[in-house]
Amino acid sequence: MSAKSDIKVPEHVAIIMDGNGRWAKARGLPRLAGHRAGTKNLRRIIRAAAAMGIKHLTFYAFSTENWNRPEDEISGLMQLLAEFIETEIQELHKEGARLLHIGHLDGLGPVLKKKVEDAIELTKNNDRIDVVLAFNYGGRDEIICAVKKLIEAGTPSDAVNVQSMSEAMFTAGLPDPDLVIRTSGEMRLSNFLTWQTVYSEWAFPHVYWPDFTEDHLKQIIEDFSKRERRYGGLSKK
């Protein structure tokens, strides 16, 4: 997708990385092998998105509901996050990526929490692309936290509106997603960016996340570019 292309590139793309377990099962591998393959795909898609001119890329990596999974799978996912930061953050930093986190870091344990915080600090001045990791994140939880934040700040009821709520969210300062992609063909929101996606466009490619490629991303963006976003208004066509 060249700079001269007339394709309308979304500013913010959010991705639900679904299908790692089924990818592994289809190959007779343990679920963690699917998560590892999915983690390797992160770097490829981040690089492709940056080259396309996408400015904000959010990944749904671990939900607040994922704590209900088997303990060994949870432990493996935490280890994969640590490995991703250890092996990829320096290259992402050189390439101008800024790492952000939404959700709760406190549940990750002190060592992993420190790794994430250090990576955020290292990349804080980069501006080519924001890589936002939604880890230990839930959309309903985020809304509840935002309401509590406003209450604790003594916000009067007549000052509680879309703007004040948005500013109290984990995603404050980021634009709402223009496009949400959920791989694997499943068609659910799954408690992801519940507040922010009310006017997002959606795509549900029938491919598991480890097999999702730059070509898939390009095709989805080309399709997105043809859509008319009306935000509740009437068509201009």
**Cβ contact 138:65 at 8 Å:** yes
- Give the global pTM: 0.93
Lowest mean pLDDT among 128-132, 209-213, 231-235: 231-235
176 given a catalytic annotation: no
Q: DSSP class of residue 176?
A: P
The answer to whether residue 160 sits within a structural domain is no
Q: State the pLDDT at residue 232.
A: 73
Q: What percent of the chain has pLDDT over 90?
A: 91
C-alpha radius of gyration, the chain, whole number: 18
Overall number of domains in the chain: 1
Give me the sheet containing 179-182, strands edge to edge. 97-102, 129-137, 56-63, 12-16, 179-182, 201-203
The model's pLDDT over 53-74, given as tens digits with 9 standing for 90+, comes to 999 999 999 999 999 999 999 9
Q: What is the DSSP secondary-structure string of 190-203?
A: TTSSTTTTTT-EEE
Q: State the pLDDT at residue 3.
A: 45
Domain limits at 203? 12-138+179-189+197-225
Nearest residue to 165 via CA among 148, 190, 178, 189: 148
Describe the chain by its helix, strand, coil percentages, rounded to 5: 50, 15, 40
Q: State the pLDDT at residue 11.
A: 98
Place of tokens 């959920």: 182
**Cβ contact 110:164 at 8 Å:** no
pLDDT confidence bin for 4, thresholds 50/70/90: very low
CA distance 236 to 182: 28
CA distance 191 to 136: 12
Q: DSSP class of residue 109?
A: -
Mean pLDDT of the residues in the chain: 94
The answer to whether residue 130 sits within a structural domain is yes
- Which residue type, as a one-letter code, is found at position 232? G
Q: State the pLDDT at residue 234.
A: 63
Could you tell me the CATH number of the domain that includes residue 206? 3.40.1180.10
The answer to whether residue 236 sits within a structural domain is no
Q: State the pLDDT at residue 164.
A: 98
pLDDT at 182 over 90: yes
pLDDT confidence bin for 93, thresholds 50/70/90: very high
The answer to whether residue 101 sits within a structural domain is yes
Which residues touch 26 (CB under 8 Å, ≥6 apart)?
A: none
**Cβ contact 6:221 at 8 Å:** no
User: Two tokens at 213?
Assistant: 């490629």
CA distance 170 to 100: 10
The answer to whether residue 44 sits within a structural domain is yes
Q: Among residues 66, 126, 176, 191, which one is catalytic?
A: 66
pLDDT confidence bin for 229, thresholds 50/70/90: confident
The answer to whether residue 235 sits within a structural domain is no
- What is the DSSP pairing of strand 56-63 with strand 201-203? unpaired
pLDDT at 39 over 80: yes
118 given a catalytic annotation: no
CA distance 19 to 41: 13
- Which residue type, as a one-letter code, is found at position 113? K
Q: State the pLDDT at residue 1.
A: 55
Q: State the pLDDT at residue 231.
A: 72
The answer to whether residue 231 sits within a structural domain is no
The answer to whether residue 155 sits within a structural domain is no
Q: Among residues 6, 18, 106, 126, which one is catalytic?
A: 18
